[in-house]
């Protein structure tokens, strides 16, 4: 057991026994199954940021390897990690999900699991068989379509994509941009304005749209970014896209609230474990490197400049873990955690990128090697300061809470 595992166990006394058991299973899989595959993943030109874990596995590895990992995921029950018990899943608490995901984020290699957006559990009637069940089983994947060319940080106020009722259908027209997984998904969860006067206060509706709907046009080249060799972000056009009324997700006018629910838990809160796993890996790598790398006759671990970087990294890790676990516990208690999720999103992405930056500097030239996961981690964490709501937006949300009548600082 290495130094960081020992430290993690010292603080694990607050975790319930069942959560520790899940953590240990996930940790074993990462160490024994995923880490040996990491170099191949990092050097591949086929992996993509933004696509689902199951797709990335099949992009990079042969069918036998991908199937073996899928079988292991289902055998251990971890495939249904995020699925509620009433839908056939493990029914894990938010805290347990966070702890397990922290382990899987220790490596660049994706582990397959049912990546179900929480708002999809609001499916009703035929939507359950058409959309929810196939996504839970891993037979279909989704993409969340909110952002537009001129509506990023203010989607409610600036959204131009509109849906108009015509008989038993809704007709959608507009353009979405920076849509992760759009070209690979089966189902688009699309927000469109249905009442221009109300907009985010009851005038935006969420639609479940089949990607192969003739009214959907995806720019297949995607948007090239620095995040991965293969495009994972897309521009999506809706040209008189007809969607039956029964494919409205939730209620008409409630789509913006559903989007915020998805962002609060599925995106912002879960950025915490995404950063924690990467930060812990970076610290462990940096400690090992500092002890073995010598300059001017002694290991660089004896240099104060290196020691202080390691201390700063460790402080950020411990503080972020406390914030993330508290936010998850509050979510489990049924509290409104929009502010806590914004806080986790803000600090995990900024501190996470800072931590990886320290690690790269400690490693020197080796820190820039594509055979190590550090630059891969850095790109994802730096990107996360923009995706899902910029750091500035998170600060705005937190400030609004602090200054509100209900903004008790506790």
Is 55 within a domain?
Answer: yes
Buried b (16+ CB within 10 A) or exposed e, 268-301: bbbbbbbbbbbbbbbbbbbbebbeeeeeeeeebb
What is the CB neighbour count within 10 angstroms for residue 126? 11
Residue 259 within any structural domain of the chain: no
Q: Is the pLDDT of residue 407 over 70?
A: no
Q: Rg of the Cα trace of the chain?
A: 22
Looking up residue 371, the CATH number of its domain turns out to be 1.20.140.10
Stretch among 43-47, 151-155, 191-195, 387-391 having the lowest mean pLDDT: 151-155
Question: In the predicted model, what is the mean pLDDT of residues 390-401?
Answer: 94
Average of per-residue pLDDT across 195-216: 95
Q: Does one domain contain both 149 and 249?
A: yes
Residue 322 lies in a domain: yes
| pLDDT surpassing 50 at residue 10 | no
What integer is the mean pLDDT of 53-69?
Answer: 94
Mean pLDDT check: name the lowest of 97-111, 298-312, 318-332, 393-407: 393-407
* One domain, residues 109 and 36: yes
The DSSP line for 390-402 is -HHHHHHHHHHHH
* pLDDT, tens digit, 9 for 90 and up, residues 249-299: 999 999 999 988 888 888 899 999 999 999 999 999 999 999 999 999 999
In a domain, 292, yes or no: yes
Query: For 87-111, what is the mean pLDDT?
Result: 94
| 199 and 96 in a common domain | no
pLDDT of residue 43: 95
Whether residue 361 is predicted with pLDDT greater than 90 in this model: the reply is: yes
pLDDT value for 2: 55
Mark whether 182 and 64 lie in a shared domain: no
- Which of 96, 115, 134 is where one domain is finished? 115
Q: Specify the CATH number for the domain of residue 61.
A: 1.10.540.10
The residues, ordered by sequence, that sit 6+ positions from 244 with a Cβ below 8 Å of its Cβ are 168, 169, 170
Considering the domain boundaries, does residue 244 fall inside one? yes
Range of the domain at 283: 270-403
Domain with residue 215: its CATH number is: 2.40.110.10
- Is the same domain home to 395 and 277? yes
Q: Does any domain span residue 120?
A: no
Question: Per the structure, how many domains does the chain have?
Answer: 3
Mean pLDDT of the chain: 92
């Amino acid at each position: 057991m290495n130094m960081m595992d020992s430290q993690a166990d010292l603080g694990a006394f607050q975790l319930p026994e069942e959560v520790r058991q899940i953590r240990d299973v996930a940790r074993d899989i990462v160490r024994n199954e995923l880490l040996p595959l990491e170099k191949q993943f990092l050097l591949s030109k086929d992996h993509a940021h933004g696509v689902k874990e199951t797709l990335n596995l099949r992009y990079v590895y042969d069918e036998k390897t991908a199937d073996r990992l899928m079988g292991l995921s289902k055998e251990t029950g971890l495939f249904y990690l995020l699925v509620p018990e009433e839908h056939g899943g493990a029914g894990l608490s938010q805290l347990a999900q966070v702890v397990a995901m922290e382990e899987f984020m220790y490596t660049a290699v994706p582990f397959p699991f049912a990546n179900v957006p929480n708002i999809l559990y609001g499916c009703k009637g035929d939507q359950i068989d058409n959309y929810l069940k196939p996504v839970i089983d891993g037979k279909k994947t989704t993409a969340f379509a909110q952002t537009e060319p001129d509506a990023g940080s203010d989607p409610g106020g600036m959204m131009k994509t509109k849906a108009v009722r015509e008989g038993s259908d809704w007709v959608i027209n507009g353009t979405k941009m920076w849509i992760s997984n759009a070209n690979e998904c089966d189902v688009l969860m699309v927000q469109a304005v249905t009442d221009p006067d109300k907009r985010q206060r009851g005038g935006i509706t969420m639609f479940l749209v089949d990607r192969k709907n003739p009214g959907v046009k995806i720019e297949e080249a995607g948007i090239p970014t620095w995040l991965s060799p293969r495009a994972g972000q897309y521009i999506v056009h809706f040209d008189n896209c007809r969607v039956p009324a029964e494919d409205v997700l939730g209620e008409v006018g409630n789509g913006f609230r559903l989007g915020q629910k998805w962002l609060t838990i599925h995106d912002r809160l879960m950025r915490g474990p995404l950063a924690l796993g990467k930060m812990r890996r970076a610290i462990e790598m940096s400690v090992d490197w500092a002890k073995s790398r010598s300059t001017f006759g002694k290991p660089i671990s004896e240099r104060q400049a290196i020691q202080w970087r390691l201390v700063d990294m460790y402080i950020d890790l411990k503080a972020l873990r406390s914030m993330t676990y508290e936010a998850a516990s509050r979510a489990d208690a049924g509290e409104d955690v929009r502010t806590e999720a914004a806080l986790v999103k803000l600090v995990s992405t900024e501190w996470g990128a800072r931590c990886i930056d320290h690690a790269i500097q400690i490693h020197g030239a080796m820190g820039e090697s594509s055979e190590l996961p550090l630059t891969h981690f850095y790109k994802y964490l730096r990107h996360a300061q923009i995706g899902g709501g910029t750091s500035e937006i998170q600060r705005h949300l937190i400030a609004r809470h602090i200054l509100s009548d209900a903004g008790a600082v506790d």
